[in-house]
Chains A and B, each alone.
Chain A
Amino acid sequence: MKFKDYYETLGVPRAATQDEIKRAYRKLARKYHPDVSKLADAESRFKELGEAYAVLKDPEKRTAYDQMGSEWKPGQDFQPPPGWDAGFEFSGGEFSGGGSGADHSDFFEALFGRQGGQRPHRPEQGQRQGQDHHAKVLIDLADAYQGAQRSISLRMPMLDAQGRVTTQDRKLDVSIPKGIRAGQHLRLSGQGGPGLGGGAAGDLYLEIAFNPDPLFRVDGRDVFLDLPLAPWEAALGTEVTAPTPAGPVQLTIPPGSAANRQLRLKARGIPGAPPGDLYVVLSIALPPADSDAARVAYQAMALAFDFNPRIHLNG
């Protein structure tokens, strides 16, 4: 287990006041909140912030944490000293404001036990429907074109025989319907948390996201491809083979095509009713003038054209 420096996580000195800690947390939490930030590691950063804040905002936990001394370095191998928590009782107040609660690090759990989001479930009278669960599934763009089956692994909180919450790894084969788009949800009835007292199980919601694609960009149901052309292809027109997520297509480039021109291939985007379109965005690539023959060719062009690309700059 590695030591975690909660003060460093929040960027505050060890002598910071509770107000300074709160301010630092709020500022960083706004910056790294997964709904706000587009950073790839926003979610893990936000979790770390929540954990650090859960300890430092609570005077009792903070005192206990401070008691371990300031000699520890982040990442250093760590075991809690025996009896380190003598005299403290972590009654485990609500962890709201400290991130979503559950899923703290081993370091946190070794010190403060499993608490927070994982509130102990009291055995309840009567029936109760199981909780709905949420998970994210990454698929390839091609899966949205053809439909697919994906095997996904989930960590789910489950109730054991004594009514305690444990996490359980679960594998699930899911059918990804053709035409699904990023940000949409699949609902799998009865695949969420188990019901209590014979109540129905909750549902499982799967949020779909696409793996980044090296060729295609996606906006809703529309798909975009950058297609570079040689200057003479753009000027004279040509036939090219362009990739699409559903396989290559033959494209006619009209003569006089300018850079940034978009060719719309109707209904070649993500399938559906209505289907999306595939936009081919043209760009013009200049061949390098790195040989005598190439330089001669460019000079011949200069002679052949009476062309001033800056004419609009001269008033």
Chain B
Amino acid sequence: MNPITMTAFKGPIVEETVQLTLLELCQACRAEEAHVLTWVFEGVLEPVGESPQHWRFGGNSLRRARMALRLSRDLEINPPGVALALDLLDEIAMLRARLQRR
């Protein structure tokens, strides 16, 4: 086995195997807890669990939370606007994918 094989870094695929706590999600996208709470209440992020301490975010929350953060920071969009933008972007992505299938 060559030495490069020995030193390659391995890591889990976040979307498939990782669940994030509120704290981990904030740390991973450098968002403030208050922002993440707002996005949950706007339905941008949908954790499972009763209360913020018990919330678990699916791996795809990482991408959504980072987009939400960038959109609100770069374009100064308020949380309902971020929620709308993300829904529309999802829809555009779905339509683009459907075009691709033809």
Contact = CB atoms under 8 A, between A and B. Distances in A.
Interface of A: 26, 29-30, 33-36, 38, 46, 50, 96-97, 99-100, 129, 131-132, 134, 149, 151, 172-175, 177, 179-180, 183-189, 191, 202-203, 205-207, 217, 219-220, 222, 224, 260, 279, 281
A184 B16 contact: yes
A36 B89 contact: yes
Given A132-B27, A132-B30, A279-B101, A188 B4 contact: no
A96 B75 CA distance: 10
A175 B5 CA distance: 9
Contacts of A203: 28
Interface of B: 4-5, 7-16, 18, 27-30, 59, 62-63, 66-67, 70-71, 73-76, 85, 89, 96-97, 100-102
Contacts of B70: 33-35, 100
Identify the 10 closest CB pairs spanning chains A and B, nearest first.
A185-B14, A173-B8, A188-B11, A175-B8, A219-B97, A186-B11, A184-B15, A175-B10, A187-B11, A132-B28
Given A35-B70, A132-B27, A187-B14, A30 B75 contact: yes
Contacts of A131: 27, 30
B9 A187 contact: no
Chain B residues touching A, majority SS: helix
B63 A185 contact: yes
Nearest to B88: A36
A186 B12 contact: yes
Given A220-B97, A224-B101, 8 more contacts: A35-B67, A100-B70, A132-B27, A151-B4, A175-B9, A219-B100, A224-B100, A260-B102
A180 B63 CA distance: 15
B13 A33 contact: no
Contacts of A151: 4
Contacts of B29: 132
Contact of A219 (B9, B14, B73, B101): B101
A172 B74 contact: no
B10 A180 contact: no
A35 B12 contact: no
Nearest to B94: A219
B101 A29 contact: no
Nearest to B77: A30
Contacts of B101: 217, 219, 222, 224, 279
A217 B100 contact: yes
14 contacts: A33-B71, A33-B74, A97-B76, A129-B27, A132-B30, A134-B66, A173-B7, A173-B9, A179-B13, A180-B13, A184-B16, A185-B13, A202-B27, A260-B102
B30 A189 contact: no
Given A35-B89, A97-B74, A173-B8, A281 B102 contact: yes
B23 to A, nearest CB: 10
Contacts of B73: 96-97, 100
A20 B59 CA distance: 41
A149 B5 contact: yes
B12 A26 contact: no
B4 A33 contact: no
B62 A188 contact: no
